[in-house]
Structure 1
Amino acid sequence: MLLWINGPFGGGKTQTAHEIQRRLPGSVVCDPELLGFGLHRMMPPELRGDFQDLPAWRQGVYEVLDLALTKHDGVVIVPMTVTDPTYFAETVVRLRERGHDVRHFSLLADPETVLRRLRERGIGRLLQRVGGKDAPLRRESFAVRRLDDCLARLREPEFAEHLWTDDTTVAKTADRIAVLAGLTLTPNRDGLLRGRLRRTWTSLRHIRFD
């Protein structure tokens, strides 16, 4: 089974994916962003746009996930924003047509909630202290510019299942996905402090400097 966790940048995809992986023995997280950054590193900086526009990225995501789903016994978890219907068809829909059990979820929230989460990122707070209150963060700025369009597209029926996350926690979102997918997670025994430290560590591990 593949769990594709969609949503805007700052919507909680990575945190939710790793929460599920932590509590679902045998599962793995496969992050298509890594392929995109690898393709960027092969290109002159001035040619680096949105890596999703590269056919090589979409084909590569399909091939790697097809291999993982064919050869790996456990659940494969993919945290990745995809809002273009054509690109969605070339990845998620194509994997379904291949015969794989693909469960897709869009994590949605009000724009104000997503903006607050972006501001609360640990690296964001650090850079703001160094550069000033309004220090530009390139990826966050890109995410903010596309936020309204991203949320509007993900509300479309083809991007269901829709999960609203404004008033819930990462652990509870993981629980909801597991129930909808027919999976059983181990109990979440994290307290408030331990959960916060775990999420901070996950964020730090996934800081991208590309």
Structure 2
Amino acid sequence: MIIWINGTFGSGKTTTAYELQRRVEKAFVYDPERFGYVLMANVPKEISKGDFQDYPLWREANYRLLKQVAEEYAGIIIVPMTVTNELYFAEVIGRLRAEGINVLHFTLAASKSTIQKRLWKRWEGKNSWAFQQSHERLKVLESDLFKEHIQTDEMSIGEVVESIAKLSGIELILDHRRGWQKKLDRLAIKLKEIGFLKQMKG
């Protein structure tokens, strides 16, 4: 089974993905974004595209690798990735489903003001790419194509995880961590992602 967690930038996809992984007996977080950064780092600036999703290679490679992992891995694959282009959605998620792979899709929805507050906490202001993209992507993700929608404005990460698990029909492991431990774990994930991005840009 693949659980695809969609949503605009700042919606909490990555944090939710890793928290869900912690609560599932056997699960793996597959991040298509990482391949995107590797791709971008190996294309000359003169011919590079503004968004790595615009490369057919990115879509084809993620489809093929996800298909292989899904067929060989006896666990749940969790994919945190923003996809708002209907064609790209069909080329990856649609093709996987056509191959008989069970792909459950969830969009983490929130109001514009909530998303902006979350982006500010990530030090992404009004001039950041994520901030400028968020409003248009929020509108696109309202489409029925991107169901199931989970309205997260008043939900904690734990509640979002529980909601996805319930809708997916999967059982969660009890979480015995204290509040401060959860915060440290989530901070570690953010620092890991920042370190990866710096490495790619370097």
TM-score (norm 1): 0.89
CA contact (8 A) 2:126 2:132 kept: no
1:197 corresponding residue in structure 2: 184
Q: Which residue of 1 aligns with 2:55?
A: 54
Match of 1:94 in 2: 95
Please state whether the residue corresponding to 2:101 is helix, strand or coil: coil
Shift of 1:135: 9.3
- Distance apart, 1:49 and its partner CA: 1.8
Q: Do residues 163 (structure 1) and 164 (structure 2) align?
A: no
- Which residue type is aligned with residue 189 of structure 1? H
How far residue 189 of structure 1 moved from its aligned partner, in angstroms, is: 2.1
4+ residue runs over 6 A deviation: none
Please give the per-residue CA displacement for 1:93-141, whole angstroms capped at 9, x wherever unaligned. Answer: 11101100100000010111111111112xx29xxxxxxxx695xxxx1
Q: Report the counterpart of residue 37 of structure 1 in structure 2.
A: 37
Q: How many residues align?
A: 196
Asked whether 1:19 is paired with 2:12, we answer no
In 2, Cα distance between the equivalents of 1:204 and 1:108? 24
Give identity over the alignment, percent: 39
Separation (CA, whole Å) in 1 of partners of 2:175 and 2:159:
9
Q: For 1:136-173, what per-residue CA distance to the aligned partner results, in whole angstroms no more than 9, with x for missing partners?
A: 5xxxx111111111111111001000001111111110
Distance 1:77 1:28 in 2: 6
User: Which shows bigger deviation, 184-193 or 103-112?
Assistant: 184-193
Could you tell me which amino acid in structure 1 is paired with residue 165 of structure 2? A
Contact 2:17 2:79 in 1 (8 A): yes
Q: Is the 8 A contact 2:49 2:55 kept in 1?
A: no
Q: Distance in 2 between matches of 1:168 and 1:202?
A: 20
Match of 2:159 among 160, 165, 172: 172
2:105 is aligned with 1:104: yes
Whether the 8 Å CA contact 2:3–2:103 is kept in 1: the answer is: yes
Q: Please tell me the root mean square deviation across aligned C-alpha atoms, in Å.
A: 1.5
The letter of the residue matching 1:203 is K
| Structure 2 unaligned blocks of 5 or more | none
Q: How far off is 1:38 after superposition?
A: 1.1
Paired residues of 2:6 and 2:105 also in contact (CA < 8 A): yes
SS at match of 1:86: helix
